[in-house]
Amino acid sequence: MRVLCIETSCDETAAAVVRDGRQILSSVVASQVDLHAHYGGVVPELASRCHLEAITPVIAEALERAATPLAAIEGVAVTRGPGLVGALLVGVAAAKAIAYARQLPLIGVHHIEGHILAVQLEQEVAFPYLALAVSGGHTHLYRVDGIGRYQTLGRTIDDAAGEAFDKVAKLMGLPYPGGALIDRLARDGDPRAIPLPRPLLHRDNLDFSFSGMKTAVLNYLKQHPEAAAGDRRNDLAASFQAAMVEILVAKTLRAAAAHGLERLVVAGGVACNSGLRAGLAAAASQAGLTLAIPSPPLCADNAAMLGVAGAAYLSAGLAAPLDLNAVAAWPLDTAGLFPAAV
């Protein structure tokens, strides 16, 4: 079964063709990052307009690279939410138009559902597992009992991890989105050079709070303006990243222990972070847990990640009506299309 997948939830216009929910035949991502970098963050109206211009050529390229004519596509999976509603609507409208014109079943997939199942495109991970979803909009711990069966165990009570990376990067004078740039600077810095807080680290719960990290870095920079440049900038990046990694690793391990889960999956753009990958690998190995993290292109926003849930739902005969609408806010717990008892 070849599924055409479409993702436009934020600032990447993406389309992919995925076979049988396992094999990526093509994955095309047109990034708007350069456009938004100009404004220091994603401008929703500009994102929608850019998606509109890019969506048709991106889908055409995905089909061409997969050597798959539309006639050979058996279903369409699209990110229905959460995200910027104007951006989501472009992908949803394109998916509905193709589904209507070609009489194909349509499936609306949750963006984070896509992220946490992306790993299945590269390796088999048995259910149940603990998923840490870390992106620009999410920092959530989920129990995943199967495709379509998700339970939130913990979440950020304010900023998402990616948001914290981007805000701190901005304070350090780095362009948007700065997460990857902090990662690069941190490689040549001393993670113990600058003392930064670890909010909620020792609280006996599975929630995160990252808004204080930005304030701590802001206060530090006010007292030490020299840390925004030169070697001290590397130290600041490394110290900030070390704090983020310590918190994310500790809460993930705590969640796995509390819920008796032996397999960990990490997903979303922040899962590209080299410090987080290394920190989790060390902690998982010490705790005797299995760790699976997709390769970086599958961690960042892409359309292929929708192919896993898309194929499963379509194979089960599920299809969304053609009045499917985009949803800006949508808890993952209610998004899975398979009931908990299945």
Closer Cβ to Zn ion, 14 or 186, answer by number: 14
Question: Per the structure block, which two tokens stand in for 237?
Answer: 């990046």
Shortest Cβ 33–ligand KG4 spacing (Å): 10
Give the residue with the Cβ less far from Zn ion, 116 or 264: 116
Scored b (16 or more CB within 10 A) or e, 216-246 reads: bbeebbeeeeebeeeebbbbbbbbbbbbbbb
210 binds, among ligand KG4, Zn ion, none (CB under 5 to 8 A by kind): none
CA-derived radius of gyration, the chain: 20
Residue whose CB is less far from ligand KG4, 165 or 330: 165
Encoded one letter per residue, x for contact with ligand KG4 by CB under 6 A and - for no contact, window 189-228 reads ----------------------------------------
Give the Cα separation of 137 and 42 in Å (integer).
12
What is the C-alpha separation between 235 and 95, in angstroms, rounded?
46
Q: What length does the chain have?
A: 342
Q: Which of 166, 213, 264, 311 binds ligand KG4 (CB under 6 A)?
A: 166
Q: Which of 29, 270, 280, 337 binds ligand KG4 (CB under 6 A)?
A: 270
Nearest to 129 by CA among 336, 337, 290, 333: 290
* Two tokens, residue 322: 């053609």
The residues in 248-307 that bind Zn ion, with binding defined as CB under 5 A, are 301
Using DSSP, state whether 156 is helix, strand or coil.
strand
* Window 78 to 137, contacts with ligand KG4 (CB under 6 A): 135-137
Q: By CB under 6 A, which span of 86-94, 188-196, 269-277, 320-328 interacts with ligand KG4?
A: 269-277
- Alpha-carbon distance of 146 to 293, in angstroms, equals 17
Interface residues with ligand KG4 (CB under 6 A) are 10, 135-137, 162, 165-166, 177, 179-180, 183, 268-270, 272-273, 300-301
